[in-house]
Chain A
Amino acid sequence: MRKTKRFKEDARYRVANREALIGLVLVMINFALWFGFAYGLGSKPVEEYSYIWGLPAWFFYSCIASTVLVVVLVMLAVKFLYKEVSFEEEDEE
């Protein structure tokens, strides 16, 4: 398909595309934290585990601390990176 550029592309899509990418980056950070802590700390023999709040350290970091961190990252992303756009049709022909 050739872009003949007889019209301007909807400017709001640039915002939308950017936010989709941010979503993707968040998932990758989320996955890395989750995977890294779980198998980084959890792969050794159970006798060598250390514990936080009574839970094995791998579980505390990968499932609780990472979850809290991801929630904070989502909040920051929404506050500083996501833009408000109007959903109303701008100029109805």
Chain B
Amino acid sequence: MNGEVIIPLLLFLMIIFFVGFYASKHIRSTSNFLQEYFLGSRQLGGFILAMTMTATYGSASSFVGGPGVAYTMGLGWVLLSMSQLATGYFVLSVLGKKFAIMARKIRAVTLIDFLKERYQSKWVVILSAASIIIFLFSAMAAQWVGGARLIESLTGLSYTTALFIFAVSVLVYVIIGGFRAVAITDTIQGVVMFVGTLVILIGTIIAGGGIGNIISDLTAENPALISPFGSDQSLTPLYVSSFWVLVGVGVVGLPQVAVRAMSYKNSRGMHKALIIGTIVVGFIMLGMHLTGVFARSVLPGIEVGDTVMPKIAMEVLPNWLAGIVLAAPMAAIMSTVDSLLLLVSSAVVKDVYLNYVKPEADDQTIKRFSISVTAIIGVLVFAMAVKPPELLIWLNLFSFGGLEAAFIWPVIMGLYWQKGNASGALASIITGVGSYILFHSLMPNAFGMHTVVLPVILSLMAYVSVSLVTLRHHQEVQAEVYEKLWSA
């Protein structure tokens, strides 16, 4: 591996580093540590909001895994990936103003703060915090493994060394800079992702002799590659459509995305983010997956899907440019794990420690505690990622869909349906996570749809029916909640 590829990567890491130091200045001067560290004092503008949402959402799978599958399956997989366009405008429209206004009324800093005030139930808080900590911890570890593998393949360093470099660069800025550092670095990472996508797409099209040429290559190899049904005809319309639940509308239930819907400064910022977010998500998803398909004509015969992106970048671009393009998946992974790290830390500090262990802690204690918890979690993830245990790999399988099934209804119905209550939310969380794990293990892709679909439907039914049955039981609490959250 040569220096020309590594230099842009190193430069990228250094810039990220400095941003962390810059953001840590705000932490020192802030009057409310918790709001600043976990939410950037709700000061995000439109562009940063759009970028931190997209970058947090776009992970290793958008840049490495997804294009690898597209390489094998053809245009049908690009079609499937475009269901993600909805995340750009749907999350902000649905959570949008309601969540921002309510969160301000109750001074919520985390998603669980909101659930706590909305449902007034200890068990809702404990179950939600547990799901966030367990699922996101494993998701984070899995992304770290991906990040380290990428550095390993690009630089030729050993896996452990690569993991160490990756861990140190993420940990430093998250620990000292908090949410503001995460949001600003996400913005830089988002720009890198956007530019990287553009460059690699154009490079691949030129190397393949134009789009027409590439498509006729693919048709000659296997006509199904350019059909919507995938190279082996396995992508049914129902299956592909069910991804609208998993990666389209269901994203509303992801805590790392939802928390961003309360971090913005004003509605003008939110409006701008709606537009920018849609454009950026649409472009990145289309560009990366299309590159994966086109790569098949330029470099046929790649066996391991995850190596398609690095190989095609090295093949079609000059070295220094490949370095910049390969900083994109690195950016995607970093921008996802930094948010997860902070979120898991906020669940421990704010949702568990301050709620139930030591509510009277003073600002200085909270500060010291938050920073140490973030650091400890980071070190734990590192330790796990060195040799990932089976349990963690298993848990990671559920982290995306499981969290969606758990949180989508307690959040959405909590915002829009006044009759929803604590029993309903509990039933919904338990049904969502429980049935997801059951379906995944016993009946994956039931009835030809992605596994996530049925648990989402079941958890909605649980939420509504249990809320209605226990209506009278919760009457008094609900009246208080209604007054607090809904009154002008």
Residues of A within 8 A of B (CB): 1-4, 6-13, 15-17, 19-20, 22-24, 26-27, 30-31, 34-35, 38-39, 42-43, 46-47, 49, 51, 53-56, 58-59, 62-64, 67, 70-71, 74-75, 78, 82-90
Contacts and interface: CB of A to CB of B under 8 A. Distances in A.
B211 A54 contact: yes
Given A84-B267, A85-B97, A74 B89 contact: yes
Contact of B266 (A54, A58, A87): A87
Interface residues of B, number: 61
Interface in B356-385: none
B269 to A, nearest CB: 10
B282 A56 contact: no
A44 B6 CA distance: 47
Interface stretch (B15-23, B148-156, B399-407, B480-488): B480-488
A30 B215 CA distance: 26
A2 B279 CA distance: 44
Interface of B: 75, 78-79, 82-83, 85-86, 88-90, 92-94, 96-98, 100-101, 104-105, 210-215, 219, 223-224, 226-229, 237, 241, 244, 248-249, 265-268, 271, 274-275, 278-279, 282, 286, 416, 418-419, 471, 475, 478-479, 482-483, 486-488
Contact of B487 (A7, A46, A62, A82): A7
Contacts of B92: 23
Contact of B79 (A4, A38, A43, A83): A38
Counting from the closest, the 4 A-B pairs by CB-CB distance are: A23-B93, A54-B212, A54-B211, A46-B223
A42 B240 CA distance: 14
A13 to B, nearest CB: 6
B98 A13 contact: yes
A23 B94 contact: yes
Contacts of B483: 6-7
Given A20-B98, A78-B271, A78-B275, A46 B226 contact: yes
Contacts of B266: 84, 86-87
Q: Which of B93, B248, B274 has the most CB of A within 10 A?
A: B93
B98 A16 contact: yes
